[in-house]
Chain A
């Protein structure tokens, strides 16, 4: 089935079963591999993207449900790694293996878009779906606070 998607501000047309999760369309049909596969059941968050600004787990979202919506992936968050969350992530040195970090960054960016100065509890609630096996959580908390400062400066 021919579907037209708006991804990072560009129109993309794919021919795929409509129930295919958005994740696999992004990765295998369009070649945007910054969004990762981790669990396939929306329990690890490495596939987090924005759909109309909301954080969504792309591994459980049928591509047909994303038609007509603005999809933003890590590649579209900024063109020069200049988003405050990306800047804070570099400054604090968050990533280790880095595999989960696209999802962490997208979840954090969605949180800060809604709450520019989140409380610790709000940070934990917004980020609890995103697993990190390297254990970068401490620096994620720190970097979200730093990104919040950058946003409000």
Chain B
């Protein structure tokens, strides 16, 4: 023990020496970067003159930009600030940022246009109004200077916070008050040509990072409100079961226990953020609430859903893909005819299980209900949505509800944790108890009751012509989605399958939207994350059956689509893809488009004779049109690959008896550092009109690239995930 203390002490000395005595090669020193407070607020506090809802300029030149989107690790704050600063033309080091006020957004008829942050939409969809806010402010500053100097606005230059015309010079700070009063005849255009940008396109350190290395970043789960109590909740283990009874007497003498609050689902309300039947134990600490909840006797009635399991859903899915479904795109009856008449047909079925978000920050919310004001701290991908949810739950005017924007401990779809019923639960409990309440779902509750990525099955069939290329493609997909609705976010059961970019002479796509009681949600790269594995594994099956190299097949089949060709040819050039490696080694490729971005991957794997998989490297090549912050974009690609391999290799949320059975990290396995491949990211940007997202698209091609590589390494074709459930062992065959 003494030894450890000594080594720790010497370590601290070494740290001090290193910190104090060295110049460190920061890419962007913290002091010179745009900043944000680690603390949170519901209303804005910037000092200075408000030029428009996003921009406040103080006399000393300090520019505060209001961030109208969530920071969920994707660099949201930095992206919003960069987009505005590009047009406003201010020194990056002089920028402060603060969260935009969600209540104001709603009061003023959606003043920030969109406060939702998801679907990799921030840059690709919101750039017109964010850059527009910067451009408008810049022109108004120029106009104010032009009027003061009696020159035409076109003679005024605005650069890095300084206005000049001839020998006249003034700062944005000096003209901010006058600019706020200017009305422009016409709002200026924004610059979308990357060649003309001065700030966008250059790597910037994310402004949230300094708070994320010292414990100061505030997440919703860190909220402390004076007088606050804590709640641990348990919803019906089989989702949408009915709470029959519970016995508060069994736990009420336990330390700190205050109450049990039963929560009831609202009939026919099973959508985003609606609540289920549940019991909440309220106590003076969360640990006391949780341990009491574990001991609380509760009876549920589950109904027919107890018969559902992963196996029963797969069986039902395989049955359905043999039957006609809803036609997903334009029907082509010739596809089936050609396949029926063909002498060479390839057919394969694929399966993907449920997966869960498992954000590292467990699902939680804090609500403080007071007679004239309600405060909300909810990890939501849309702060304005948190206001509306709570107002609806409490039947109060949204104007008195204030959502505090927090750092999100991951989001990955589903609206963040705020897309579950947790925010309504906290509102309801606070109302009933009369105190601020922090609700935290235990990890088991989080995994069992989150909104999940749907289980899916697909069958693909193709006929192969004399040249080895397909003559027709016929597909049927089935996924298991809450109440049988057609979509999760923008994804349908076969979006990526019917969007395959290849020039099939004939193609026909059908789908089944199958009802389940399991709540469904978007899940980073929805649709593409599951179906990319199916479509791109099948491409290799078609190519190999036709005697084609799988990468050459993809290049051939995308002739006439220049963006796809650029991505695939860049992948070919950079990856050194080959199919003739010794047994036990393999490379595999795949390409999937999602969120406006084309993403190709090449995986390099080894598989030991006993079947141990090692994914050595994933190279990803993407065309998002343009990249505003290459550093953050690269991080997102690395993360997306890890995300998808977590499900494809190690994950799989298992349903049995109508409920999920592997609901913590001992049984729901995510990729760990020793499994994570090296990811290399290359942007093959087309520019032009393409504005693609980058928070998600690098993930979907990774699993099929790995499965295709496993085929070359072992001769085994993997048609379901997780890969860990397959025996990948192989024996040397004599050449």
Contacts and interface: CB of A to CB of B under 8 A. Distances in A.
Q: Do A and B come from one complex?
A: yes
Interface of A: 16-17, 20-21, 24, 27-29, 31-41, 43-44, 46, 50, 52-54, 70, 73-75, 77-78, 80-84, 86-87, 89-91, 93-102, 105, 109, 112-114, 116, 123-125, 127-128, 130-141, 150-151, 153
Nearest to A96: B73
Nearest to B639: A135
Given A37-B440, A101-B212, A128-B672, A78 B18 contact: no
Which of A77, A83, A94, A140 gathers the greatest number of chain B CB atoms within 10 Å?
A83
B733 interface: no
B449 interface: no
B664 A39 contact: yes
Given A53-B7, A90-B30, 20 more contacts: A24-B286, A33-B221, A39-B443, A43-B664, A77-B214, A81-B214, A83-B15, A91-B24, A96-B74, A97-B361, A98-B208, A99-B359, A99-B409, A101-B212, A128-B672, A133-B358, A134-B410, A135-B642, A141-B673, A150-B18
A97 B409 contact: yes
A10 B83 CA distance: 44
B19 A84 contact: yes
B73 A138 contact: no
Given A53-B7, A114-B7, A133 B215 contact: no
Contact of B673 (A78, A109, A127): A127
Given A97-B361, A133-B358, A153-B22, A39 B215 contact: no
B285 A134 contact: no
Contact of B676 (A36, A70, A137): A137
Given A38-B443, A127-B673, A97 B73 contact: yes
A139 to B, nearest CB: 7
B194 interface: no
Nearest to A33: B222
Of all A-B residue pairs in the complex, the 3 with the closest CB atoms, nearest first, are A34-B215, A135-B642, A97-B73
A95 B209 CA distance: 6
Given A84-B18, A150-B22, A24 B674 contact: no
25 contacts: A28-B285, A28-B286, A28-B287, A34-B214, A37-B221, A43-B664, A44-B360, A75-B214, A81-B210, A82-B15, A84-B18, A91-B24, A93-B205, A96-B74, A98-B409, A116-B14, A124-B674, A133-B359, A133-B646, A134-B73, A135-B641, A135-B643, A136-B639, A139-B638, A140-B673
A3 to B, nearest CB: 14
A116 to B, nearest CB: 8
A43 B673 contact: no
Given A50-B8, A151-B14, A81 B213 contact: yes
B407 interface: yes
Contacts of A153: 18, 22
Nearest to A75: B215
A77 B26 CA distance: 20
B362 A37 contact: yes
B442 interface: yes
Contacts of B653: none
B610 interface: no
Majority secondary structure, A binding face: loop
B631 to A, nearest CB: 6
A99 B72 CA distance: 10
A135 B408 CA distance: 15
B360 A46 contact: yes
Contacts of B4: 52-54
Contacts of B16: 82
A78 B19 contact: yes
A6 B219 CA distance: 26
Given A86-B214, A97-B72, A29 B285 contact: yes
B185 interface: no
B27 interface: yes
Contacts of B665: 38-39, 41, 43-44, 131
Contact of B443 (A40, A101, A137): A40
Interface in B434-465: 440, 442-443
Given A21-B287, A132-B360, A133-B643, A93 B635 contact: yes
Contacts of A127: 673
A81 B217 CA distance: 13
A82 B19 contact: yes
Given A89-B213, A135-B643, A99 B664 contact: no
Contacts of A99: 219, 359-361, 409-410
Nearest to B9: A53
B676 A138 contact: yes
Given A128-B673, A128-B674, A131-B670, A138 B213 contact: no
B211 interface: yes
Contacts of A81: 210, 213-214
Contacts of B285: 16, 20, 24, 28-29
Nearest to A88: B24
Given A87-B19, A133-B670, A41 B25 contact: no
A27 B26 CA distance: 32
B498 interface: no
Contacts of A137: 642, 671-673, 676
B266 interface: no
Given A54-B4, A82-B20, A113-B11, A98 B27 contact: no
B480 interface: no
A87 B46 CA distance: 29
A93 B15 contact: no
B19 A136 contact: no
Contacts of B642: 132, 134-135, 137
A99 to B, nearest CB: 3
Given A90-B210, A131-B665, A36 B361 contact: yes
Nearest to B285: A28
Contacts of A114: 7
B8 A134 contact: no
Contacts of A34: 214-216
A28 B283 CA distance: 12
A85 B98 CA distance: 28
Contacts of A20: 285, 287
A113 B12 CA distance: 9
B5 interface: yes
B362 A38 contact: yes
A137 B208 CA distance: 19
Nearest to B631: A93
